[in-house]
Homo-oligomer: A and B are copies of this chain.
């Protein structure tokens, strides 16, 4: 049996932030919450999707909204449990385990917090294998699983159960509620049974995040090249090395949309990189030519130590490396691309897998 230790949390938080592709929140608050909960309630057992009986249910526990807001509007600590238990009560069923909805600094650690508080195991899987900005952007949704009934809770004690005719309506109603609650909320959503879990989840995300974070933290301790280590463990691509020359953000829609411009340094000198994001990094181009497109993962790392920089922390003057990682094969299907491909986000590109784009550059 595998139990998550406090040290594991350091690894998972930073590894998940790399898989978060610029989104999913800064790992700081989530990690603190999860560590505290493990200290108080005991270690969390990590189980595989296969260990969940077909007729038992699991429930994703997540934060919704702007992660940066959570650093000032702190959770009271009861919301994740409150959302989870309220959904169980509404369904009239007890959950077998907690599962993350996405990989990200916050949304990989909050489910650990929730699992610790509830005394439940955590499933080593999620619904994205990365982070995405909208609720229907999950492999669960592609698999036909309803996002609702879902529960939205805030830190003041307000709560709502939402049942909708489509997952797009769940996004609309939960988003407007989250904005009204002050831009962040805790949710319990996408209840599914073990059989659905096995078919429609991205497996092993927590272990993957842990392996990534471990490699990065150890490389820094051992003074080996952290970027090299990350490329190896993620089977990723070094897309660009540059200096950030401009960051443009627009927050008017409850998301953070914008772009980052970089000037090449070292081997990339003379080239320019543009990174487009909507909470998550979604499209990277060098001198106008795509090198990585959603749903493949694009993560900005600080050049020196290799730690991920989430979109809200990108700043003029930072020297960075842009890492690209192939997404889960789920997303490369027609149904997957319809939900999260470049055209869904209004980018004027057809999706081409990152490995093909890399091969084209050689």
Contacts and interface: CB of A to CB of B under 8 A. Distances in A.
A88 to B, nearest CB: 14
A261 B234 CA distance: 70
Total identical chains? 2
Nearest to A150: B160
Interface residues of A, number: 19
Contact of A180 (B161, B165, B176): B176
Interface stretch (A151-159, A296-304, A312-320): A151-159
A213 to B, nearest CB: 38
Contacts of A90: 90, 161
A256 to B, nearest CB: 20
A172 B180 contact: yes
A233 interface: no
Contacts of A157: 164-165
Interface in A160-193: 160-165, 169, 172-173, 176-177, 179-181
Contacts of A160: 160-163, 173
Nearest to A153: B163
Contacts of A181: 173
A163 B172 contact: no
Contact of A165 (B156, B176, B177, B179): B156
Interface in A3-56: none
A163 B87 CA distance: 13
A-B residue pairs, 5 tightest by C-beta = A161-B161, A157-B165, A176-B180, A159-B163, A158-B164
